[in-house]
């Protein structure tokens, strides 16, 4: 059949007057041509009129139908792209253009408590995106200024944004993108599940679709029978069957990006947009349309659409996201505690710095559910945490542990009745100082068999290595401070580094009293064998103790009349180690998208001040130490 198709194709496309002409065009023997002609005639595909050495060939309706069917069959098959096998961790955001209704980039317009851009970044990070490329143009410096604290965002400025389409900006990423990525526009606001729909699954080349929105500048989509995009058009009259609208977010494989660059390299229209390049590539490779039913989303085209976003769409998204978070918490409870939906009375957000905690009321009792935060798998050994938290629970230091999964990081604890979580103010009350001194002393002198060591200096160097992997940078003066901290570490080792069970995270929020005045240490993520003075220093540092507060604590912890000279030097050293460690931790977390304001820099600055104080007290000549 393929040979007959080739014969009819040449006759339809090329003037021929003899069998010999056909043989030359088809590059086959004259005998093979005569055989094909007889077969085509016999099957009713072709009429042949012979006049001497010349012939005329007329394709009959059956022959034309064969050509049409063969052509359709050829277009039905598309090449497949193999999944990379790696999760998508990169996003490209297009933010170069200007909307006439606004005197600033749409991405920087206020939304909730932040901006459209910040809302988008946080939502993408919640879906697993860790690295961003942002194409800027209009007010590029203002965008750069707003994102100056985000080390996971690379800003690429398109100087020709006024005279080009989105492909011109994407071309600037040539050589930078070697992995699959999400591609989206900065004027887009949507709910989390839209992003997750593209992040999940094996199909590597996809566009997010929703039902037609009625917004201006709609890009309608028609799909083929396999669910791949057949046609994209902003003209409703060009679409045979409207099956969705492009939301403005795509999942693009690295090899497709290279195809886009090759396509654009021979393009003569600088205003070409990426959607139409992808549509053309989709004629050869399956470009799947990922429809998300009842998706809440909007894009900002003018003042009207912006006001609609602020007043209607975004509040709907927030309500939906809250419902989704509560559903995740509920699903987790049902999966691990064997409860039914009717057993869950209430789920409410209970805060969290590293993780997300929920206060859960069930028919059988009240619990705290902990869902792990971003990147905690690289910062925390969950196997160790589970072991230590269970020991602490069994020995009465921790509240009762109900469930702890070392693989997922999910933890459920019994709620402490009539709980009072200490604050940095209440932690300095004498009664609470006495309780903390007592529980720390009992912990430090216990036979609690912790299997891991927590050395703050080693941890800081481990975080430093993770910083290098994230291409993140510490604050100015880091290398000078690092040398001082390591010199002070060596002084500590000369004094003697005690090895006892320690909690290592004495935030006030980890100190909880029940209604009977019993104190618990919760959250054992960073626990391990350490010098007890680390815990003492942490309690002082995290709760802003004054010298007289520290003196009172030492009275309860050490007792009267004990020589505290060595302990005081160690406490100062461990204050330095903690500010150094947690400043690196903060930069590392912010490189992944969290925002801690001035917390990291404040700790870094205080570390510098404490180092200066240490040398003044214990060694004025630093030339040999640094």
Mean pLDDT to the nearest integer, 180-199: 94
**pLDDT of 556 strictly over 70:** yes
Give the C-alpha separation, 416 to 436, whole Å.
17
Residues 6+ away with beta carbon under 8 Å from 293: 211
Percent of the chain residues topping a pLDDT of 70: 96
Among 283, 301, 319, the domain-final residue is 301
The domain that contains 225 carries what CATH number?
Answer: 3.90.550.10
Per-residue DSSP letter, 184: E
Q: Has residue 414 been placed in a domain?
A: no
Mean pLDDT to the nearest integer, 613-618: 94
3-state secondary structure of 223: strand
Q: What is the per-residue pLDDT across 562-578, written as a single tens digit (0 to 9) for each? A: 779 999 999 999 999 99
Among 219-233, 254-268, 372-386, top mean pLDDT goes to: 254-268
Four-CA torsion 189, 190, 194, 198, nearest 10 degrees: 10
Same domain, 216 and 179: yes
How sure is the predictor about 279, in pLDDT bands with cuts at 50, 70 and 90?
Answer: confident
Q: Which residues span the domain enclosing 6?
A: 2-76
Maximum C-alpha span of the chain: 129
Same domain, 204 and 276: yes
Q: What is the pTM of this model?
A: 0.64
3-state secondary structure of 170: helix
**pLDDT of 543 strictly over 90:** yes
Q: What is the per-residue pLDDT across 42-63, written as a single tens digit (0 to 9) for each? A: 999 999 888 777 888 888 999 8
Give the Cα-Cα-Cα angle 218, 158, 245 (nearest 5 degrees): 15
Same domain, 16 and 112: no
64: its two tokens: 């034309």
Same domain, 195 and 217: yes
Residues 6+ away with beta carbon under 8 Å from 218: 212, 234, 236, 245
Q: What is the per-residue pLDDT across 497-541, written as a single tens digit (0 to 9) for each? A: 999 999 999 999 899 999 899 999 998 989 999 999 999 999 999
Q: What is the per-residue pLDDT across 578-609, written as a single tens digit (0 to 9) for each? A: 999 999 999 988 877 677 878 899 999 999 99
- Using only C-alpha atoms, the chain has a radius of gyration, in whole angstroms, of 34
- How many domains would you assign to the chain? 3
164: its two tokens: 């080009």
What pLDDT does residue 613 have? Answer: 95
What pLDDT does residue 554 have? Answer: 95
Same domain, 25 and 128: no
Mean pLDDT to the nearest integer, 271-277: 91
The domain that contains 574 carries what CATH number?
Answer: 3.90.1200.10
Cβ-count burial of 560 within 10 angstroms (0-12 exposed, 13-18 middle, 19+ buried)? exposed
Q: What is the per-residue pLDDT across 72-84, written as a single tens digit (0 to 9) for each? A: 666 656 777 878 7
Residues 6+ away with beta carbon under 8 Å from 284: 78, 79
Same domain, 154 and 119: yes
């Amino acid at each position: 059949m393929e040979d007959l198709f080739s014969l009819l194709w040449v006759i339809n496309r090329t003037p021929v007057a003899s069998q010999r002409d056909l043989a030359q065009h088809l590059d086959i023997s004259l005998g093979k041509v005569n055989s094909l002609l007889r077969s085509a005639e016999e099957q009713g595909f072709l009429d042949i009129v012979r006049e001497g050495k010349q012939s005329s060939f007329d394709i009959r309706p059956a022959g034309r139908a064969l050509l049409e069917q063969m052509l359709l069959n050829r277009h039905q098959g598309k090449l497949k792209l193999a999944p990379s096998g790696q999760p998508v961790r990169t996003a490209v955001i297009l933010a170069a253009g200007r909307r006439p209704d606004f005197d600033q980039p749409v991405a920087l317009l206020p939304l909730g408590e932040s901006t459209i851009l910040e809302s988008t970044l946080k939502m993408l990070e919640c879906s697993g995106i860790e690295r961003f490329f942002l194409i800027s143009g209009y007010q590029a410096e203002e965008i750069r200024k707003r994102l100056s604290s985000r080390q996971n965002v690379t800003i690429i400025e398109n100087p020709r944004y006024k005279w080009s389409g989105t492909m011109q900006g994407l071309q600037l990423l040539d050589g930078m993108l070697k992995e699959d990525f999400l591609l989206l526009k900065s004027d887009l606001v949507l709910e989390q599940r839209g992003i997750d729909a593209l992040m999940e699954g094996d199909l590597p080349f996809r566009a997010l679709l929703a039902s037609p929105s009625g917004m201006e500048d709609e890009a309608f989509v028609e799909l083929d029978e396999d669910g791949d995009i057949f046609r994209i058009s902003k003209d409703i009259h060009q679409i045979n069957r409207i099956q969705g609208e492009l939301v403005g977010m795509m999942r693009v494989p690295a090899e497709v990006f290279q195809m886009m660059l090759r396509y654009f390299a021979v393009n003569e229209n600088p205003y070409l947009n990426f959607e139409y390049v992808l549509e053309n590539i989709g004629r050869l490779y399956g470009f799947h349309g990922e429809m998300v039913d009842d998706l809440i989303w909007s894009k900002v085209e003018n003042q009207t659409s912006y006001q609609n976003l602020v007043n209607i769409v975004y509040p709907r998204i927030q309500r939906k996201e809250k419902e989704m978070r509560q559903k995740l918490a509920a699903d987790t409870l049902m999966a691990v505690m064997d409860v039914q939906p009717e057993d869950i009375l209430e789920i409410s957000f209970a805060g969290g710095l590293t993780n997300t905690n929920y206060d859960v009321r069930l028919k059988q009792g009240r619990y705290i559910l902990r869902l792990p935060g971003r990147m905690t798998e690289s910062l925390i050994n969950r196997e160790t945490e589970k072991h230590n938290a269970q020991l602490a629970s069994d020995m009465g230091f921790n509240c009762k542990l109900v469930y702890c999964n070392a693989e997922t990081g999910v933890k459920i604890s019994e709620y402490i009745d009539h709980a009072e979580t200490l604050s940095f103010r209440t932690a300095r009350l004498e009664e609470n100082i006495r309780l903390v001194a007592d529980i720390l002393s009992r912990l430090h002198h216990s036979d609690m068999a912790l299997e891991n060591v927590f050395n703050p200096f080693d941890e800081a160097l481990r975080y430093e290595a993770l910083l290098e992997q994230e291409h993140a940078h510490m604050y100015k003066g880091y290398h000078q401070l690092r040398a001082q901290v390591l010199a002070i570490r060596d002084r500590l080792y000369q004094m003697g580094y005690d090895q006892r069970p320690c909690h290592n995270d004495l935030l006030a929020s980890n100190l909880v009293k029940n209604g009977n005045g019993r104190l618990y240490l919760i959250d054992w993520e960073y626990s391990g064998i350490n010098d007890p003075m680390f815990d003492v220093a942490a309690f002082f540092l995290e709760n802003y103790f004054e010298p007289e507060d520290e003196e009172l604590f030492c009275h309860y912890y050490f007792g009267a009349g004990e020589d505290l000279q060595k302990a005081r030097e160690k406490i100062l050293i461990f204050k330095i180690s903690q500010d150094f460690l947690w400043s690196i931790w903060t930069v590392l977390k912010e490189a992944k998208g969290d925002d801690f304001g001035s917390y990291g820099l404040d700790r870094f600055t205080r570390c510098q001040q404490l180092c200066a104080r240490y040398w003044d007290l214990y060694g004025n000549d630093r030339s040999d130490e640094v």
